[in-house]
A and B are shown apart, each in its own frame.
Chain A
Amino acid sequence: MDTFIQTFFNIDIMMQAFPLLMKGAVMTLKLCAVVILCGLTGGLMLALAALSPRRFLRWSAIGFIDLFRALPPLVLLVFVYSGLPFAGIRLAPFWAVVIAFFLNNSAYFAEVFRAGINAVPKGQTEAARATGLSGPQTLIHVVLPQAIRNVLPDLLSNTVEVVKLTSLASVVSLSELLYNANMARSVTYNSSPLVLAAGMYLVLLWPLVRVVSRYQRGLSSSH
């Protein structure tokens, strides 16, 4: 029992590792912010393109979405970081991670937005257009607010996935939370930093998870 506590819950080692882990957590948050912002923007653009009446645009967007939803994010990341240099494109780990996860995430967000927009009744667009609003005005003031409300829980749970996803960045030696925790483990020969890191992920994600599940319960009980 004592060795168990010594190995996994060693307070001294945790205290020692804490500053390094905090630095990692900050990097994780920075990564999340960039990936989520790019993913949301790109996802919205892709969703609009996928709903466009222009066939070429529509099929390109659908192809993009399908491709990057099908590719495992780790494969994408390794390809961007270690594969692209063979074509002369060498990226810093941070940007490799951002690009790989942007590709993956914008595809996911696009599907979410697309479902949300499709769920807005056609009569809404018709009413708006009939009062002289332009297509973009209709989208911004009438369709998107409803679409986003329709899929808010999905947008949030996708955000949770992004935070988890960033832990993959440790494979390209980006010093985010998991990478730093693992480094602390190898230096101290003790697993407590990993437990601490898990705790920090929990602190980060638990409120979000709570919100998502409350939202989903709320939605299902209101039907």
Chain B
Amino acid sequence: MTKPRTMLEIAGLEKSFGEVQVLKSIDLKVQEGELVFVIGPSGSGKSTMLRCCNRLEEPTSGSIFIDGQRITDIPHRDLDRMRLKVGMVFQGFNLYPQMSVLKNVMLAQVKALKRSKAEAEARALEMLDQVGLKHKAGAMPAELSGGQQQRVAIARALALDPQVMLFDEPTSALDPELVGSVLKVMKGLREKGMTMLVVSHEMQFAREAADRVVFMDQGYVAEQGTPEEIFGAPKSERLKTFLSRVSHGDVEAEAD
């Protein structure tokens, strides 16, 4: 057996906005094919951490490695190429409203990956099929439900063959009955061996699908472990309080 490959490594990551330090030394490793879940109260820095991983946000200090390559010191002109390796899914889907579903999934393939139109279209249809929306290829984003839009957004990211997928609260903006379809797609991805870092409050999903759960609090990784450890035997008081609040449904109200 080969040694598991570290696909994403965050080492000593710090981030300040002006005077305010939002991330205070984060260390985190995600192995190839792992699904790591990130939970934590609103404002604890989860989104900021994810956004540092493709440098939508510039880290103040520390290093991030994608498949062994340090991405925190590559020059700006190489950022676009690096981002092709890191897929990102946002809470608000962010599909391009003026383009059809198919065009949404093709755009970066053609413009950033320089694939031919035919190749990009074939790949887009394949990815749409994977998220169960091939029949919506010709639709406009506004005609889709939130769950469908989010699945298109996942297909858009997957079409670029990323090595790591980042999810920032992918189901928080969805009506409860639509959450399942998105989680199902994510589960399918995990079975295909995709490496995933997921910020979410879907605890049931974490129990079923996560290899590890990371609890972030006030800019630190306060606790991490298997789902059984984190949910079954939380150590810190803050995690216990957090979990009891989540189980009472408070996190949604608190999330922006």
Contacts and interface: CB of A to CB of B under 8 A. Distances in A.
Q: Is chain B a partner of chain A in the same complex? A: yes
Interface of A: 121, 123-124, 126-134, 137, 141-142, 145-146, 149
A127 B90 contact: yes
Contact of A130 (B56, B96, B111): B56
A134 to B, nearest CB: 5
Nearest to A143: B96
Size band of the interface chain B makes with A: 20 to 34
Interface of B: 54, 56, 80-81, 83-84, 86-88, 90, 92, 94-98, 107-108, 111-113, 153, 156-157, 160
B98 A132 contact: no
A123 B169 CA distance: 14
Contacts of B112: 131-134, 137
A49 B92 CA distance: 29
A146 B99 CA distance: 10
Given A142-B96, A146-B97, A133 B90 contact: no
Given A123-B90, A126-B90, A127-B90, A132 B96 contact: no
A145 B111 CA distance: 16
Contacts of A133: 80, 107-108, 111-112
Given A121-B92, A132-B84, 12 more contacts: A121-B94, A123-B90, A127-B90, A130-B54, A130-B83, A130-B87, A131-B87, A132-B108, A132-B112, A132-B113, A132-B160, A133-B112
Given A127-B90, A146-B98, A149-B98, A141 B107 contact: yes
A142 B107 CA distance: 9
Contacts of A134: 80, 112
A139 B55 CA distance: 19
Nearest to B81: A132
Nearest to B97: A146
A149 B97 CA distance: 11
B111 to A, nearest CB: 5
Contact of B157 (A124, A131, A142): A131
Q: Please give me the 3 A-B residue pairs with the lowest Cβ-Cβ distance, nearest first.
A: A131-B108, A127-B94, A132-B112
A124 B94 contact: yes
A149 to B, nearest CB: 7
A124 B104 CA distance: 12
Contacts of B107: 128, 131, 133, 141-142
